[in-house]
Structure 1
Amino acid sequence: MNKIICPVPLNQRPLNEFNSIRNSWIISWPFLERIIFYRKLTFSWLIITPVCLTISYGSDYLKNNLFELIFISLTASLAFPILLLIRQWLSWVYIYKRLNSENIEYEESGWYDGQTWEKPIDWRAKDLLIAQYQIKPVLNHLEVIIVLLISVIISSILFILSGMN
């Protein structure tokens, strides 16, 4: 069996990067069971809600309108889970592109000495399988949730604006 000599440092190999971020704290959430993933997102939303309530309470208008105070605070606090989801999405897009690529771009000692190494066929096949069957569904799921939450925020803003007139 041929032993492939790879010049790419271990921590810059796409498969190792995939395993690394799959074991990271926030970035790994989409790989959890859906109910646990949604529970973590809901918790991140609820944990920031008191901060949004406190900030919203600073408005003289909202102090006198409890429904609008709570509604605006709950809507504004959706920004935090959206930011978490975007961060997750960006990380998984990066790894997806690295796994899908025929070449591996890497640095030997710093940003100024970038190199490119062509993946062997067997590495490429394995990377493509992981990209298509593990990461692509995660990306699709994250995109749906992000669009849904942004739609909720836009709908809430339209609702608030229509109520003010």
Structure 2
Amino acid sequence: MCISKKICPVPFEQQPLNEYSSLRTSWFFAWSTLDNDKYIKKIFYIFCFSFVIFMPFALSIVSSRSFLKIMILDTSIASIILVLIFVRLYLGWSYIIKRLFSAIVFYEESGWYDGQIWIKSVESLTKDRLIGRYEVSPLIQRIQYSLIILIILISLENLLYYLLK
């Protein structure tokens, strides 16, 4: 995927396609590329782990020791942890898609003080936009749908928690 230095002066790790490849293979961002079954299992495992870890915190907050209130609060906390994870996933993938869709690439040669701009050629722009459209856009949509479902779930949990008071 690397473009030669004659065509693209951008350093290897700052080229949009290489940023996409490194994000796709990173341990954190790679699970958003899994097929639906594995993706849902991963979310479920993270939710269960957060649920168990934050149970003592929920026990310390609820003074009435109502089992249902403790479970609802702990579920809300675990859901909020998932929201934070999905926001991080969204930010990472949206940064990549902006770099892929943009006709102009800002890059740093050796530090923050010597930034340069490279205008993509028609071929590289077309290639980047195709990858952005057909590879990254579905991932962003999946993350957005997951976030919407989690926010609705948290809203329902909070409503149920306050109805129990």
In the superposition, the TM-score normalised over structure 2's length comes to 0.93
Residue deviations 1:130-159, cap 9 Å, x none?
A: 011111111111101101101110111112
Aligned to 1:116: 117
Aligned to 1:129: 130
The CA distance in 1 between the partners of 2:14 and 2:47, in whole Å, is 33
Q: 1:12 to 1:62 in 2, by over 3 A?
A: farther
Aligned to 1:22: 24
Counterpart check, 1:52 vs 2:73: no
The CA distance in 1 between the partners of 2:19 and 2:91, in whole Å, is 14
Give the secondary-structure state (helix, strand or coil) at the position aligned to 1:115. strand
Q: Which amino acid aligns with 2:138?
A: P
| Structure 1 segments (4+ residues) deviating >4 Å | none
CA contact (8 A) 2:50 2:78 kept: yes
18, 32, 35: which one pairs with 1:33? 35
Residue deviations 1:73-123, cap 9 Å, x none?
A: 112111112111111111000000000000111000111111100001100
Structure 2: 5+ residue stretches without partners? none
The CA distance in 2 between the partners of 1:137 and 1:48, in whole Å, is 27
Give the secondary-structure state (helix, strand or coil) at the position aligned to 1:105. strand
Pairwise CA distance, 1:4: 4.2
Counterpart check, 1:10 vs 2:12: yes
How many residue pairs align between the two structures?
Answer: 162
Give the secondary-structure state (helix, strand or coil) at the position aligned to 2:48. helix
Pairwise CA distance, 1:126: 0.3
CA contact (8 A) 2:23 2:29 kept: yes
The CA distance in 2 between the partners of 1:26 and 1:59, in whole Å, is 31
The CA distance in 2 between the partners of 1:32 and 1:96, in whole Å, is 18
The CA distance in 1 between the partners of 2:5 and 2:74, in whole Å, is 59
Q: Which amino acid aligns with 1:26?
A: F
Counterpart check, 1:146 vs 2:160: no
Pairwise CA distance, 1:71: 1.7
Aligned to 2:85: 84
Identity %: 31
In the superposition, the TM-score normalised over structure 1's length comes to 0.93
Q: 1:77 to 1:60 in 2, by over 3 A?
A: closer
